[in-house]
Structure 1
Amino acid sequence: MRNKEIKKIIGIQLLLLVIFIILNFIFNLCIHQIYKGSLIENNSYIVGSIIENHPELEEEIINNLIRYQNNPPKGIDILEKYGLTDIGNIEYLTNIQSMKKIINICSFIFLIVLILIINIIYVIFIRKQYKRIKDIHKYLNRILNNDYSFDIRDYDEGDISDLKNDIYKITILLKEQNELSLKDKKNLEILLSDISHQIKTPLTSMYVINDLLSQDNLDPKLRKQFLMKNNQQLKRIEWLVSTLLKISRLDSGMVTFKKEKVFVDKLIKDALEPLLIPIELKEQKVNIEGDSNFEIE
């Protein structure tokens, strides 16, 4: 049996049973002493009355009392004659009435005390269990409010302790998932901000190209070159918009990442492509050094 509370209640009940047996034994001893005293007092009254009138029979009467254990008394017939052998009519014995009252009162009090003790133990157990359940309820409400700081772990034995420990494990899992979700959200925010900035760059280039194309005296070769570059910027914007759509699908869990090897040289050139016009206008030059066949994953 793993439930510590049940073990404790069973132990208390066994202890109460032992106490009940001991008290019952003591109570029976007391009743026996009272009953014995009543019989001795009654015998002394009878013997005293006979010897008072017939002193010469003292020794004979005492001998008869001693032999009573082995020989049935001859006076039983006389007692039956007067109806004094009926168990219901022995109230004539000294203290028998008071002894009956004591037995009834003690039995009633003992029964009431026993019932009260059992009920008190049961109420304490129930209140303790309800308190532990209430603690679990409060803890779950804190989890619903994204508060994972409270430690509900219970190192006792029992079903409720196991439940608390299982809830704590789930709480740790939810906390880790929540932290991961916040981290992903932050990364997504940074990525969207970066893509937004990257969209502005080709748009700026397109504005510059449009201003150049609006000149009437522009050389046809340059016009064609600018139109091609403008088309490249449009493709760049299309790629960025497509990337945004892919990110939204990734965020919703519709697709997953796939790792592929790419050439670093090509990756750098693709990244520089939307910046070629501003670089050219500023008469700048980009030099790429290293192995052009180097790949990363």
Structure 2
Amino acid sequence: MEGNMLRNPEIKGLLLGLLVVLMVMFALGGILFFSLWDSFNRELVEKNISIMGNILSRHPELRDEIIEDFVKESTEDERLTGIEAAEKYGYTVEMPISIIPVIRRYYSRFLGMGIGGIMMGILLSLGTFLFFIRIMYRRIALLSEGAEKIVEGDFTIRLPESDEGAFSKLAHQFNQMSKVLEGNLERLKADRVFLKNITSDISHQLKTPLASLKMFNELMLDEGMDQDTQRQFLIKSEQQLERMEWLIKSLLKMARIEAEAIEFKKEDASILETVKEGVESLRPRAEVKGQQLEIRSVSHDIHFIHDHNWIAEAISNMVKNAIDHTGYGGKIEIEISETPVMVRITITDNGEGIREEDLPHIFERFYKGKDNVHGSGTGIGLALSKVIIENHHGRMAVKSKVGEGTTFIITFLKGII
């Protein structure tokens, strides 16, 4: 606990400040003391010289002896003789200081210097203490103001942090808490916007198939309708129901991924097998339009860490998009390649192509190009594929030219889970 306390910059500053005050007081006290001591010594010598002069004026024949007595060390006998003689006149070591003028003056000065030094030391120490207390109070006030801001809903508040100390640690934890709360608030806002958007999207996308189903049912209620016509309406109703089912499932998948409610089961697997699984179910769809659907790989042993089922679904959505936007007798090629650092999948068709102004938006949910003539499309497949691939740390790019075809490029970095 003591070690932690001494790491606080405020405590270290306070102790350093007090140490500086003590050193300054000690230095000033020493200077004053030696100055007074020098003055006292001079005045005492001058007093002795005056006494010597007084004696010599009356007994000049004792000049050498008197001067020698003043500068030499006295013997014990001489000291006792002097004490005995002085006591007859009341001059003893117990006599009050006030009787001796020189000692009285310097005693008062030394006493005043001591009291003044103590008072100044107390005042300077108190001032230093109050200075650092004020610094700590300001930090506490900042923390209090920050807490009030958070209570008011402002999570952008940040406290200044120093390198070490309890206040710095507290400020860091406060800032971390503020960041977490701000992030949670942003996620909550994003979730609310997402919920609002997806609710709006679902209701908007279901309007058309629901209206079609309602119309088909109303027509089939006509008792005069023959069985062949009713069968055609039933087939169309089934198609609309399948479209609604696929749309709702895709939206729910995307919502779960974006809400991080899905845990991808990533493992080292063959990307060729994953692509085949995503493509094979679409071959009948391509054969209906007389299209060629080819898969090429530079190696049968290209592996990287991914969720087999989800990547297969992403590839399937993109190939389905290529089939829908490629005419009869067209060609769709899926090519797999790798480098030491990445795996690349390209999906190329010779279909209708995408207008340049539509390219930045094709991965947006429910986006349809201005020239889109395929009314059955929902605009959800590419958006779902993008979400899946980005959750595998992959990147998607697209190149297209109207009338010549489109190429989608998917890139995964190896070793990133």
Task: List aligned pairs for 1:1-297, cutoff 5 A.
Answer: 3-37=8-42, 39-40=44-45, 42-43=47-48, 46-47=51-52, 50=55, 54-56=58-60, 58-59=62-63, 62-71=66-75, 72-73=78-79, 74-142=81-149, 145-148=153-156, 152-154=159-161, 156-159=162-165, 160-161=167-168, 163-164=170-171, 167-168=174-175, 179=186, 182-183=189-190, 185-230=192-237, 233-234=240-241, 237=244, 255-256=262-263, 259-262=310-313, 263-264=316-317, 267=320, 290=330
| Residues 52 and 67 in structure 2, CA contact (< 8 A), matched pair in contact too | no
Secondary structure, aligned partner of 1:158: coil
Secondary structure, aligned partner of 2:310: coil
Secondary structure, aligned partner of 1:215: coil
Secondary structure, aligned partner of 2:101: coil
| Residues 5 and 158 in structure 1, CA contact (< 8 A), matched pair in contact too | no
**Cα separation, 1, equivalents of 2:22 and 2:46:** 36
**Cα separation, 2, equivalents of 1:162 and 1:99:** 55
Give the alignment's TM-score, normalised by structure 1: 0.69
Secondary structure, aligned partner of 2:92: coil
**Cα separation, 1, equivalents of 2:126 and 2:70:** 52
**Cα separation, 1, equivalents of 2:312 and 2:67:** 124
| Residues 44 and 102 in structure 2, CA contact (< 8 A), matched pair in contact too | no
Q: Of Structure 1 and Structure 2, which has the larger fraction of its residues in strand? A: 2
> How many residues are matched?
280
**Cα separation, 1, equivalents of 2:329 and 2:196:** 33
Give the alignment's TM-score, normalised by structure 2: 0.53
**Cα separation, 2, equivalents of 1:266 and 1:210:** 34
1:116 deviates by 0.6
| Residues 139 and 152 in structure 1, CA contact (< 8 A), matched pair in contact too | yes
Q: Which residue of 1 aligns with 2:410?
A: none
1:6 deviates by 4.2
1:49 deviates by 5.4
**Cα separation, 1, equivalents of 2:139 and 2:15:** 20
2:85 alignment partner AA:
I
1:158 alignment partner AA:
E
Relative contact order (C-alpha < 8 Å, sep 6+): which is higher?
1
**Cα separation, 2, equivalents of 1:288 and 1:173:** 54
1:197 deviates by 1.6
Instruction: Pick the structure with greater CA Rg.
Output: 1
1:212 deviates by 1.1
| Residues 56 and 63 in structure 2, CA contact (< 8 A), matched pair in contact too | no
